Structure 1
Amino acid sequence: MAGRNKPRTFALFTAACAAAALAVAGWAPAAQADASTINYVNLGDSYSAGFGSGSVMPGPVPGCFQGSGATHVTAIDALDGVVLTANGACAGASTQQVALMASALSGQLAHADLVTLSLGGNDLDFAGTIAACSTLGTAAACDHATAAGWAALPEVQARVHAVLAQIDAQTPGTILVLGYPRLLATSNGDQPLMTAANARTLNKLTDALNRGISKATHGTSVTFVPVLGPFNNHGINADNSWIYFNQANLADPFNLHPTTAGYLNGYYPAVRNHIHLNQLGW
């Protein structure tokens, strides 16, 4: 998902320049690796790009940005025998842009043993919905935004399914598509960002998005990895929040993304439970 009021400098690469930019970046199809090496490819939006951890850094192509800190991706890469051959995740990526990156990384995907990604949140304009339901919005704006979100869910699910089917056809590896956490804690009542009632409304939309992503795996070999459990009681306004929120700067691009603790204590254990190294060639 994208951060609220993201500066225009965080716009993603266009479809026309994606493949060329990858070539400039020096990414070529991967050669056949040693049988004991687990080739790992990461794709997706800002939740796979590590926004919220470290600082903003350039990604593999112009206009693509990632977080520089520790995440579930770096933790997986650190596992014995695992080699991250390509990290094509970009903050703000739509499902279409994830598909473009997957096409550009066809060589790496053809030799991948493991693929992780997150997608769908930007197609739903979740960041815009949060803005509409925040203390800066209005009741009417929140109602309109959430209604639009619910109406868009079937199309988002169809887009996610199309991308997952594409990646499934591109790689023989295990594919794990990651869900999204509930960003907002409601246990402590109203919060700086919004009322508890609006937070509950948005959490229900997140739950529905996750159900759609899970259903989008049907007919593919992709496995859905939920993270609602690990992030329970760790949303914004919780006593121990794992979601980054800079109240002093609502335009901070890291807002509404997991912190380093969220990635390492929330996402990583959930994903690690689905990674069986002995079945991936190690």
Structure 2
Amino acid sequence: MPRTTPPRILTLLGTALAALALAGAGMAPAQAAAPVAVDASLTPASGGRVHPTHRHTPDVQYVNLGDSFSAGFGSGTLRAGPIPGCLQGTGPSHVTRLASLPGVHLTVDASCAGATPEDITAIAGAVRTQLATADLVTLTLGGNDLDLAGLITACSTLGSDAACRQALAMARQTLPSITASARTTLRRIDASTSGRILVLGYPRLFSPQYGDNDFVTARHARQLNRIADGLNRAVRAATRRTHTRFVPVAGPFNRHGLGSPTSWIYFNTANPGDPFNMHPTTTGYLRGYYPAVLHRAGLHHRVR
């Protein structure tokens, strides 16, 4: 889950949105932020179509927040999102598929690759007008509080056993703080909307049952998957005592991680620095994330 560009996203938000404030559409501190002026060419992902619905089926106002797993990294190409300094993928994902359902209107996709829970809190303040009228909110959060890229590199064939042990120990120590930071963010979002808030989990990125591969040994892959499981437990714990609901997605990816002949995880072997690496492919979003969120959002009856 790479960051967009240094410096940190929160700094980018502070400077870019402060400039927008001069034009009447900016952002003060998160608790007093003005709504972001959203570029109509970027939202909704369904192309702005208004879907006809049965007169007895109310329309659904939809807001998407979160990090790169919400921003569709791994599908399509890169594009700038409506939040200054934030990047998203252009390809199909669970978000675009939800937004294409009859009567579902994506009012803003404010997801941001590299966003931490703290960053997402600030972004939620910037789109508070959209949140106030939202019927559905989806997001992923917490993964960027881990140095996931560093962890995976240390445990890959580019690293060493010693480096992997150290990185795994640091990740385990970080997990409790992820629960605390994610809960703070979820409570802020919870207070901003009466809509249904679905907090999506993360997949296991590896399929060690297929043995060693050129990038990672099966042993290290199992250790990395256990960190992913711990991350999901930390995020699930953050949803307690809120009106948010955790949606697991690990199951569908179990035989489709890196190393599987039918992997749903993007990895560009020619470019280890590709920002899409270690994210779901289009298939991963549509066959892993979308069915899970469709069911929990109560929108399956709109599928045609």
SS for the counterpart of 1:46 is coil
Cα distance, 1:161 vs. partner? 0.8
Query: Relative to structure 1, is the Cα distance of residues 219 and 93 closer, same or farther in structure 2, using a 3 angstrom cutoff?
Result: same
SS for the counterpart of 1:214 is helix
2:257 is aligned with 1:235: yes
- 1:82-231 mapped onto 2 (5 Å cutoff): 82-231=104-253
Cα distance, 1:105 vs. partner? 0.6
Match for residue 245 of structure 1? 267
Q: Distance in 1 between matches of 2:199 and 2:4?
A: 27
Residue 84 of structure 2: which of 62, 85, 92 is its match?
Answer: 62
Cα distance, 1:61 vs. partner? 2.5
For 1:211, the aligned partner's letter is R
CA deviations on 1:95-141 (whole Å, 9 max, x unpaired) are: 11111100111100000000000010010111210011111111111
Cα distance, 1:62 vs. partner? 2.5
Query: Relative to structure 1, is the Cα distance of residues 111 and 278 closer, same or farther in structure 2, using a 3 angstrom cutoff?
Result: farther
Q: Distance in 1 between matches of 2:239 and 2:67?
A: 17
What is the TM-score of this pair, normalised by structure 1? Answer: 0.91
Cα distance, 1:13 vs. partner? 5.2
2:20 is aligned with 1:26: no
Residue 17 of structure 1: which of 15, 21, 31 is its match?
Answer: 15
Instruction: Indicate conservation of the 8 Å contact 1:51/1:66, yes or no.
Output: yes
Instruction: Indicate conservation of the 8 Å contact 2:74/2:281, yes or no.
Output: yes
SS for the counterpart of 1:17 is helix
Q: Distance in 1 between matches of 2:107 and 2:58?
A: 14
The number of residues matched between the two structures is 272
Query: Relative to structure 1, is the Cα distance of residues 110 and 52 closer, same or farther in structure 2, using a 3 angstrom cutoff?
Result: same
Q: Distance in 2 between matches of 1:13 and 1:64?
A: 10
Match for residue 42 of structure 1? 64
Q: Distance in 2 between matches of 1:61 and 1:256?
A: 23
With CA pairs under 8 Å and 6+ residues apart, which has the higher RCO, 1 or 2?
A: 1
For 2:37, the aligned partner's letter is G
For 2:69, the aligned partner's letter is Y
CA deviations on 1:42-71 (whole Å, 9 max, x unpaired) are: 000000000000001111132100000000
Cα distance, 1:256 vs. partner? 0.2
The percentage of counterpart residues that share the same residue type is: 52
Match for residue 48 of structure 2? none
Instruction: Indicate conservation of the 8 Å contact 2:4/2:86, yes or no.
Output: no
Instruction: Indicate conservation of the 8 Å contact 1:13/1:64, yes or no.
Output: no
What is the TM-score of this pair, normalised by structure 2? Answer: 0.84
Match for residue 81 of structure 1? 103
Aligned-pair RMSD on alpha carbons?
Answer: 2.2
Cα distance, 1:278 vs. partner? 9.6
CA deviations on 1:132-190 (whole Å, 9 max, x unpaired) are: 11111111111111100000110011101111111001100000000000001101111
Instruction: Indicate conservation of the 8 Å contact 2:4/2:113, yes or no.
Output: no
Query: Relative to structure 1, is the Cα distance of residues 278 and 52 closer, same or farther in structure 2, using a 3 angstrom cutoff?
Result: closer
